[in-house]
Amino acid sequence: MKVVQVKPNRKYKFDHLQIKFQAFHLLKDYYSGLVWEDPEAYNVLCQSLDDENYFQETEILKEGLELLSKIEPEVIYDFNRLFVGPGKLLAPPYESYYRNYEKLLMQKETMAVREFYSSAGISVNRFNNEPDDFIALEFEFICYLLYKAAALLVDDPNQSDYYLELYEEFLDRHLGKWVLNHCKDILEHSSTELCRGMAVLTKRLIENEIKKSA
């Protein structure tokens, strides 16, 4: 484990990165089919987001976060209907579905994501088995960029800033261009509070990040 020594003047920035990381990591896990067992986890996340005044308090956000702690038995079925199958997906978790005019996977939009990863020295483990623009992979990539930015914060601030720029650019060119529509599909079709809650959180997170980078 790499231990990062944080100087006081960098503390604020580091905390910020950590919060973002945690939020995106939660989403990455979620889309990979992993949820925290303990509802407390969601509360910690909510608190951390509140603490930093990171999200503006709105009713909808509060509602969304509250929903997260309710894991119903129906959740898995709903989750699968939305994102996994075997039927027609109600909210396909793939960028090209939202951006390709034919709504297909593995299209040029997917290849653009592949190239972006590659420019940061990253590629997909299950190369050409799993679309590069699968949402969990995009979130994992975001986490990687935040991790690099945090890890280099002290020793190489320029490099750290470079990763933050990549972070903003990836949001701007990719996640920010489709995830909101994806969340809309979830909110329209989901029958469980967890999935709806996650959609609200995702939507707000992305909206905030785009706003800030704009």
Partner 1 sequence: MKQKVFSRRSFIKGSTAAGAALGVSGSIFNFMFTGLKPVEAAEETGKKVFQNACPRNCYDTCSILSTVENGVLTKVEGNPKNSFTRGRLCAKGNSYTRSVYSPDRIKYPMRQKGRGTGNWERISWDEAYTEIAENILRIKKEYGSTLPICLNKYSGNFDILHYGIEGMMSSIGNTSRATGTPCWPAGIDSQTFDMGTIYNNDPEDLVNSKYLILWGVNPAWTSVHSMYIIQEAQRRGCKIVAIDPILTQTAVKADLYIQVKTSTDGALALGMARYIVDNELYDRQWLENNSLGYKEFIEYLRDNITLEWAADKTGISKELIETLAREYATAKPANIWIGYGMQRHTNGGQNVRAIDALAALTGNIGKSGGGAQYAQLETWGFNYHAMTQDKPAGSGGSGDRAININNFPAEVLAASDPPIKMLWIACRNPISQDPEASVSRKAFEAMGLVVTADLFMNQTVEMSDIVLPVTTLFESPGVNVSYWHYWLALNEQAINPMYEAKNDVQIAMELSKKLNELEPNSSTYPTSGDQLDWVGKEFNSNIYDQFGLSDWQELKNGPVKAKKGLIAWEDGKFRTPSGKYEFWSEEAGKFGHFPLPAYLEELKPTKEYPLRCISPHWKLNIHSQFQNLDWMEAINSKPFIELHPDTAKSYGINDKDSVKMYNDLGYIIVPAKITTSVPPEIVVVYEAWYKDKNFNVNFTVKAIPSDMGRKATGMPGLAFHDNFVNITKV
Contacts (CB under 8 A) with partner 1, residues 145-204: 146-147, 150
- Distance (Å) of CA 34 to CA 40, 79, 126: 15, 11, 18
Q: How far is the CB of 199 from partner 1 (least distance, A)?
A: 16
> CA 193, CA 61: separation in Å to the nearest integer?
13
CB count within 10 Å of CB 44 equals 13
Per CB under 8 A, the segment of 57-65, 125-133, 171-179, 196-204 that binds partner 1 is 125-133
x/- site string to partner 1, residues 75 to 114, per CB under 8 A? -xx-xxx--xxxxxx--x-x--x----xxxxxx--xx--x
In the numeric block, which tokens belong to residue 126?
């299950």
Nearer to partner 1, 89 or 210 (CB): 89
Q: How far is the CB of 98 from partner 1 (least distance, A)?
A: 10
- Establish if 7 lies at the interface with partner 1 (CB under 8 A): no
What is the total count of residues that contact partner 1 (CB under 8 A)?
72
Per CB under 8 A, the segment of 61-69, 72-80, 162-170, 204-212 that binds partner 1 is 72-80
C-alpha closest to that of 181 among 101, 64, 110, 92:
92
Radius of gyration (C-alpha) of the chain in whole angstroms: 17
∠ CA 149-201-119, nearest 5°, is: 35
